[in-house]
Structure 1
Amino acid sequence: MKNRNIYFLLEQLSCFVLLVHVVLAANYAPRDKILLNCGANGETSDIDGRKWITDIGSKYVPPGMNSIVSDATLQKPSVPITPYMTARVFSSEYTYSFPLASGRKFLRLYFYPADYPNFDVTKGVFSVNAGQYTLLKNFSAYDTATNLNYDFISKEYSINVESGTLNVTFTPSRDTPNSYAFINGIEIVSHPDIYAGTSMLVGTFGSFDIDNFTALENVYRLNVGGQAISVNGDTGMYRQWEGDTAYIFGTAIGVSVDTDQNITISYPAGMPDYVAPVDVYETARSMGPTPEINLGFNLSWYFDVDTGFSYLVRLHFCEVAPDITKINQRVFEIFINNETAQPDADVIAWTTKSKVPVYKDYVVYLPSESPRQDLWLKLHPNTYMKPNRFDAILNGLEIFKINSSDGNLAGALPNPIQKQDIIDLSRVLPHDSGNKNGIIGGAIGGGIAAIFLVGFFLCFVSRRRKEKNQNSSDVTSNWIPLSLYENTHSSISTAKTNTTGSYARSAPSNLGRHFSFAEIKAATNNFDEARLLGEGGFGKVYKGEIDDGKTEVAIKRGNPLSDQGVNEFRTEIEMLSKLRHRHLVSLIGYCEEDTEMILVYDYMAHGTLREHLYKTQNLPLTWKKRLEICIGAASGLNYLHTGAKHTIIHRDVKTTNILLDKNWVAKVSDFGLSKTGPAMDHSHVSTVVKGSFGYLDPEYYRRQKLTEKSDVYSFGVVLFEILTARPALDPALPKEQVSLAEWALHSHKVGMLDQIIDPYLRGKIAPECFKIVTETAVKCLADVGTDRPSMWDVLHNLNTAIKLQESRDDGSANMVDEVSDEMPLNAKSKNIDGNLTDSTISNGLSTTLGGQSLATVDSDGLTGSDVFSQIMNLNGR
């Protein structure tokens, strides 16, 4: 009987524990939720569909407070209407008073430092206090946004409210003449006390307590290895999670891990699932599958922060690898600011089984040696424990600034940074790159002697040496001329003919016109800087003249110290020498002499499409012109996919690779990454991921399976770029808007896509045309490639759209010039020698020469390496 009673009690206890876990597993429902759109006229909705109320006549504004409401005089394309386009402006101290239930609250402040009537944007300098805490001191939203290259700013704080009222006070600076304070939006959301507790103090044997008297400022919140998570994707607290790629140090980014399986993440008893969304735990970043490489580098992130404060660093883990289910299979070390935070991190040891989340909290103090510095997080395999796998993993990361003893959270003005609009994935893959400290190079140094014997890998060796000794003045080049490349297929070349370093020419004769270096120098007036068009990752691009000044050309001269080299040089030549199409850029020839690698193209007078969309002094393109350009680019891509003998996948479609000639005819460029498509009995090509973040097909990124639908996804991003006139990836924007693809899909889902288009286009797009283009772009961005249209379908839809636009504009339904030559039969086209010949264009797709495909030369094996050709890209990649 006694045993039965014990069994019964245990059974009841188990049921109780299960019940508690089920209750905790529900998303958090905030008791207080205030969304205040300051200065707005009535209720408004943001791009996430959340309702914001106005503060005009609000109970949160005590009577007798002096202020005015104002509209921003200019809406930049990246700025949402709610809650940024209206503001409340204060010339003296002003306090909002919020009656709240006791407990923890997220306080979020939104600022758009624009010109407001009668106020100088540079004079908006002020302090903000919330209760006993100083959140901002002598804060300039304008200077902060300028230094960070942001258009608008949001701040998030976690504050415990005990009295039942939270007062938020804005005070213009006494140190700045004619200063004023302003606020565009205030958000207050209750949250459970999920950040409280005792954390290990890194670098000491002590601990640090987060309690009710601690205020926190969230400075970073990352979904490591995954995509950004919008406020609606959070667990009821409207937190925003961004991707981690912008914060990874160096070029060794490891491998993004996606479960991509029908698995269930099981939150353990005592850990509610609102600690972090399940999306955080379903994706991760690991070091990769190669132990020898993993042992030679740290998986590292860095974060710009204020000094003189302690920081709570919360790391989220979940072991999602199907083959890791036991202790000591993956053990790693965690370093924070070069101090050991955890010598033997083992996720399975913490959770006892896989697919169970866990988080670990650490606190680190940054002394005031300078106003700001980088906070470092590094992971490295643990070798002492002799685990089965030398690897490390991280799923999510949150960093909070902790208030000082006097209640201060205000920090220094951020350092000016150089914003990168496009992050190039090919330059951050571990197989061909190393970090700034050359750690990878050191790890594989033992194999250099063997690799050195193979001439084909000379560029690889020299790159590693360069990384290992990058601070040395003796830098090794990774340059191999095409002639030497040719010879390495059979034996180690001895083609060097004299002591000056020139090489015997042995490049194939069918790769186009061969220019001597003397001809190139004459064409560019000895590379006169006045002729410089731009500079990319491969080298500088000059405007030149050949054939006694009769032909204008773009001449790209490779930089011997560039990471891009012979593979891209050869791929570009071979691809473009075999393909001819009105909407593909034309390669005239090349020069390979005296270690020089130079490519000569048709001159594109109007540069890249991106140069006419944003960050430009050029006049905005009309909507019809944008459509015409996209139709031309779609035609070129469609030819690559269906018109050549073998499918050719471009692999790097973006607005900088769509060039415009003097007649505004669009031409697709940059074939350094291009890949021959799969054979008839295969659905995809398995290959390492290359491309540019913001345009990268997520299915290809997850599975390393490339299809022509990867180009379709990238083209969908291009369509939204012409609609919105903003970059595909903009780290300066709020977290939910960083990725144009994600932002556009979300805006379409909530029915607010019309609110994010380029203000210049508003009222100028026929509704029927807008509907077709946007629906086509949305379908292109389908997560699964088989759900996306073909490029031919895209081309057909765009042709229909432009007819509808023309019908509204002038009653005409004629095809635009850029498309008309794609449709007729028995057209004329140039053969690979440049001569006109009878051609047949079947369905606007396949160009033939005398019954033989123009691309009959087999394209198999033409694989790209790093990103190569950017004829007119001034910023490179």
Structure 2
Amino acid sequence: MINLKLLTLWVLTVLCSSHISSASDSFFINCGSPENATLNNRTFVSDSNLPTEIVDSTQGISLETTDSNSLPSGDESTLFETARVFSDESTYKFPIKQHGWFLIRLYFFPFVSPSRDLTAAKFSVSAQNFTLIRDYKPSKTSLVKEYTLNISTDHLSLEFRPKIDSFAFINAVEVFKLPENLLPEEAGLIATQKNLKLRTHAIETVSRINMGNLSVTRDQDKLWRRWDSDSAFIGEAHFGMPVENLKAVNFTAGGGGITEDVAPVYVYGTATRLNSENNPNTNANLTWNFRIEPGFDYFLRFHFCNIIVDPFGFERQISFDIYVNSERVETVDMTEVANGTFGAPYFVYAVMQKERSREGALNLSIGGVMDVSLYPVSFINGFEILKLSNEKRSLDVSDAVFSDSSSRGKSSNPRIGLIAGVSAALCVGLVFCMVVFWCCVRRRRKMQSVHSREVKQNESLIFSSSKIGYRFPLGLIKEATDDFDERLVIGVGGFGKVYKGVLRDKTEIAAKRGAPQSRQGLAEFKTEIEMLSQFRHRHLVSLIGYCDESSEMIIVYEFMEKGTLKSHLYDFDDDDDRKRLSWRQRLEICVGAARGLHYLHTGSARAVIHRDVKSANILLDESFMAKVADFGLSKTGPDLDQTHVSTAVKGSFGYLDPEYLTRQQLTEKSDVYSFGVVMLEVICGRAVIDPSLPREEVNLIEWAMKLVKRGKVEEILDPFLEGKVKSEEVKKYCELTEKCLGQNGSERPTMGDLLWNLEFLLQVQAKDEKAAMVDDDDLEASVVGSTVQFSVNGVGDIAGVSMSKVFAQMVVREETR
């Protein structure tokens, strides 16, 4: 009996070993699991019966989650059900038959089991003496880390080292050999004539981006890579448009050795291109913004495949430059393969030096060269950011290395000369320091005296009854915000952070503090103060004061207790019903915001165009009253004898008026379009761009308007509102929204017309609620009749009944009750 058990165990071990090795140098391991798991044509083998040459099965313990509902969604959830836990240093040792580049994927999910809480782990991971992760302390979310190493030995060691009194864990491991020529031997350094050898580094995948607003899942890539949509990284003012032409990709044409191993057809068959069809002289760059960890070099790879078909049938020059952080990397020229002739896909690559990435930002831009033709064409299909290990043989941010330029030149003087020079320098420096110190003391005393007087003067003004438009001392704002305590952050944007604060007289404030690298800048800072100083309206956020002391850019507003409209539509936890808005609340918010914008458009001799209307810029007070905020991009409208203002495109992606985007002609109707997008968010309860949704639903405007045109308005309704609003009212609301989203400004209502129609809808909703409460059949019938008859084009007659008469009849009926 014992021999039979040993024989069975031996057979299982041999089968597991042969299965893992069935593909040359490929290992897929389901850690801590007694069973194999199949995922995307890969079999992840249980590590319980692996040969000891790979892992000692006595190392660590196996754990299994007891709460399957807590697992991350998606196909990979199977790999997160179990884990192997190590209390001591442990190693997976993979035998290597063929040398070359290998890819390593590590899967982590810190579930809680009856015997161990994996969120308490703290450990490091290394491979081939490269530090991959140092002192990793997991959060409650899943994590997949991907690395690439060049292996020239007969094995690859993956080591887990727990911290003292802690432990390490791993859910799944992938190790497999990459195809030949997937990575080059070396890559050129940006702005230099030098090359850097890649095979001497460990490489970590930071971002893998598919252009064209389309994500690529692991099952669509031969090497099981995930490619994220570029929509989350697009800059504020973006002139791009998505393109898809999968059939055009031909990996065999033109040679070059490019195969689907480099990138799948879903990457080369989609692109983001410059939208120049409506303007033959378009002069703009396409820009994407990424975050990286400073202190490392980065390998950048750019993918291009000409899938652009000229809709006009004439030859265009397709030549453009690539820029990384404003430095030109390469010129791409595809003129010879234009007009629907598709050459082989190809890519260019470069290495970004760590001295050029100190701020942790990486900006990619592509744009036309100086001699571009009419209707310029520039595009990109894919982009990869890969981090390279540094001098410490590490990829962990805690080991970042910054070059010290002051130490590059070493003295060649003799020892005696060095000592004499240092001594002389010290003497001179000592005298100099004494003089500077004496001057600083005098200056400091003088400054303290002046500052003391200024603070007393400012405080007497700040605590006056109006509290409007005063220049705050920096010290007072720091006091109100606990020195900009991170716990008081209530919002983050391109400008920086917004802090909640409390003044000495208990007035609550919101302090918007521009970050040093803020995209808002000094011009927008001044614009916002000027705009808010001259306009006062109950539906515009009120300015309390500002601070420009010590190079700070801080604007102080009234505090809005309920936050942004966005946070009550979709930017919250699914189970937080306290954030959800009723249909009436949504209409009241739309009416309030429309009143604020209507005042901007008509409250002075020249209209003021907000230029950044979006749900994140509509704030709600404690009573859910809406107020429009963020006037940094606002622009004074055209004179009476002009139709528009010509200006550079600024705003937020997804909300930009297409007419303004293509022609750079700004009008009040641009705000109407953006408000129409907000109205869609209000009724659908979802974001303008959501890459997590199926492809046809990613873009809210395209998806929703397609259903509206088909008469299927009920399919776009926020599920929370189902059964709580009449279909007739939804239909009328959608018709009004559709008018706002007209491609041409002339098709859209004015903000005044829009406001009247929204107020009418609100009146109808109020009557519906009243009718439901008192069961007044006559009243309900009159209201239903009213809902069917109203215009979205203006405030004139509604099917023969004027708007004023309708409201008058409502008021009379209300008073007679």
Which TM bucket (shorter chain)?
0.5 to 0.7
Using the TM superposition, give the Cα deviation of residue 689 of structure 1 relative to its aligned residue in structure 2, in angstroms. 8.0
String of CA shifts for 1:655-701, please: whole Å, max 9, x gaps. 77463635xx68586697999xxxxxxxxxx99987655x7699999
Shift of 1:396: 2.0
- Looking at structure 1, the residues matched to 228 and 628 of structure 2 have their Cα atoms a distance apart, in angstroms, of 31
Match of 2:225 among 239, 252, 255: 239
Matches within 5 A, 1:251-650: 254-259=238-243, 264-267=248-251, 268-270=253-255, 271-281=258-268, 282-286=270-274, 294=284, 304=292, 311=299, 313-318=301-306, 320=308, 322=310, 329-334=317-322, 341-342=329-330, 344-349=331-336, 355-356=342-343, 358-364=345-351, 366=353, 379=366, 381-383=368-370, 393-401=379-387, 408=393, 410-413=395-398, 520-521=466-467, 561=522, 563=524, 586=539, 605-608=561-564, 624-629=577-582, 632-633=585-586
Residue aligning to 2:106: 109
Output the CA distance in 1 between the equivalents of 2:525 and 2:71. Answer: 33
Distance 1:141 1:610, change over 3 A: farther
Bigger relative CO (Cα 8 Å, ≥ 6 apart)? 1
In the alignment, structure 1 residue 90 sits paired with structure 2 residue 86: yes
**2:90 is aligned with 1:141:** no
User: What is the aligned counterpart of 2:692 among 734, 743, 751?
Assistant: 743
Within 5 Å, which residues of 2 pair with 1:791-802? 798-800=720-722
Alignment match, 1:126 = 124
Summarize the Cα distance change of 1:266–1:181 in structure 2 as closer, same or farther, 3 Å threshold: same
In structure 1, distance between residues paired with 2:400 and 2:684: 31
**CA distance in 2: counterparts of 1:855 and 1:62, whole angstroms:** 80
| Residue among 655, 673, 681 paired with 1:714 | 681
Indicate the residue corresponding to 2:811 in structure 1: none
1:291, CA displacement in angstroms? 6.2
User: Separation in 1 of the partners of 2:111 and 2:302?
Assistant: 35
Structure 1 segment 2-81 matched on structure 2, within 5 A: 36-39=29-32, 55=46, 57-59=48-50, 62-70=55-63, 80=73, 81=77
- Cα distance in 2 for partners of 1:41, 1:802 equals 50
Q: Secondary structure at the match of 1:65?
A: coil
Gap change, CA 1:183 and 1:531, over 3 Å in 2: same
Change over 3 Å in CA distance of 1:567–1:656 after alignment to 2: closer
Change (3 A) 1:155 1:121: same
Contact 2:569–2:686 (8 Å) recurs in 1: no
Superposed, which structure 2 residues align to 1:687-836 within 5 Å? 692=652, 710-711=677-678, 714-715=681-682, 718-719=685-686, 741-745=690-694, 783=703, 785-787=705-707, 798-800=720-722, 822=765, 824=767
Quote the Cα distance in structure 2 between the aligned partners of 1:301 and 1:591.
Answer: 33
* Alpha-carbon displacement from aligned partner over 1:834-872 (angstroms, at most 9, x marks no partner): xxxxx968449979999526999xxxxxxxxxxxxxxxx
Within 5 Å, give how 1:173-252 maps onto structure 2. Answer: 176-188=163-175, 191-197=178-184, 201-202=188-189, 216-224=203-211, 226-232=212-218, 234-244=220-230
Q: Does 1:157 align with 2:147?
A: yes
Larger Rg: 2
Check the 8 A contact 2:540/2:627 in 1, yes or no: no
Percent identical residues? 17
Contact 1:215–1:402 (CA under 8 A) maintained in structure 2: yes
Q: Deviations over 1:553-582 (max 9, x none)?
A: 9999999956278799989999x98xxxxx
**Distance verdict in 2 for CA 1:380–1:627, change over 3 Å:** closer
Alignment correspondent of 1:834: none
Contact 2:308 2:339 in 1 (8 A): no
The residue type equivalent to 1:714 in the other structure is E
Aligned length: 605
**C-alpha distance in 2, partners of 1:99/1:802?**
63
1:403/1:396 CA distance change after superposition, 3 Å: same
Whether the 8 Å contact between 1:325 and 1:348 is mirrored in structure 2 is no
- Deviations, residues 160-200 of structure 1 (Å, cap 9, x unaligned): 6799x965522316xx5335332233234665335244665
Q: Could you tell me how far 1:67 is from its partner in structure 2? A: 0.8
For structure 2, the 5+ residue unaligned runs are: 1-21, 402-462, 482-487, 515-520, 547-554, 599-608, 636-645, 664-669, 726-760, 772-781, 808-817
Write the distance in 1 (CA, Å) between the matches of 2:375 and 2:184. 32
Counterpart Cα distance in 2 of 1:702 and 1:44: 49
State which of 148, 161, 175 in structure 2 corresponds to 1:172: 161
Matched letter for residue 210 of structure 2: N
Contact 1:307 1:370 in 2 (8 A): yes
Q: What displacement does 1:543 show?
A: 10
Q: Residue 199 and residue 632 in structure 1: after superposition, are their counterparts in 2 closer, same or farther (change >3 A)?
A: same
CA distance in 1 between partners of 2:657 and 2:23 (Å) = 33
Deviation at 1:826, TM superposition (A): 9.8
Of 627-636 and 277-286, more deviation after overlay is shown by 627-636
Q: Which amino acid aligns with 2:692?
A: W
Q: Is the 8 A contact 2:472 2:545 kept in 1?
A: no
- The verdict on how the C-alpha distance between 1:650 and 1:184 changes in structure 2, with shifts beyond 3 A counting, is farther
Is 2:560–2:619's contact at 8 Å kept on the other side of the alignment? no
Q: Distance in 1 between matches of 2:58 and 2:213?
A: 43
Tell me what 1:462 maps to: none
SS of 2:765's equivalent in the other structure is coil
CA separation in 2, counterparts of 1:846 and 1:41? 67
Q: 1:27-85, CA deviations, whole angstroms, 9 ceiling, x for partnerless residues?
A: xx998886645345867799xx8988574635377444321234689999995555456
Alpha-carbon distance in 1 for matches of 2:102, 2:660: 37
Letter matched to residue 306 of structure 2: C
The one-letter code of the counterpart of 2:620 is L
Contact 2:583 2:721 in 1 (8 A): no
- Cα RMSD for the two superposed structures: 6.9
Tell me the CA shift for residue 413 of structure 1: 2.6
| Counterpart Cα distance in 2 of 1:592 and 1:62 | 65
SS in 2 for 1:320: coil
SS of alignment partner, residue 824 of structure 1? helix
For the 8 Å contact 1:307–1:368, the answer to whether it is kept is yes
- 1:852 alignment partner in structure 2: 803
Q: More helix by proportion, 1 or 2?
A: 2
The whole-number CA distance in structure 1 between the counterparts of 2:790 and 2:502 is 33
1:808-835 Cα deviation digits (max 9, x unpaired): xxxxxxxxxx99982635969xxxxxxx
What TM-score results when the alignment is normalised by the length of structure 1? 0.50
Q: For the Cα contact (< 8 Å) 2:124–2:133, is it kept in 1?
A: yes
**Mean CA deviation greater in 104-113 or 361-370:** 361-370
Instruction: Give 3-state SS (helix, strand or coil) of 1:520's partner.
Output: coil
TM-superposed deviation, 1:360 = 3.2
Q: 1:70 touches 1:86 (CA, 8 Å); kept in 2? A: yes
Map of 1:680 onto structure 2:
none
Residue identity opposite 2:122 in structure 1: G
Q: Shift of the alpha carbon at 1:256? A: 1.5
Amino acid in structure 2 at the alignment position of 1:227: N
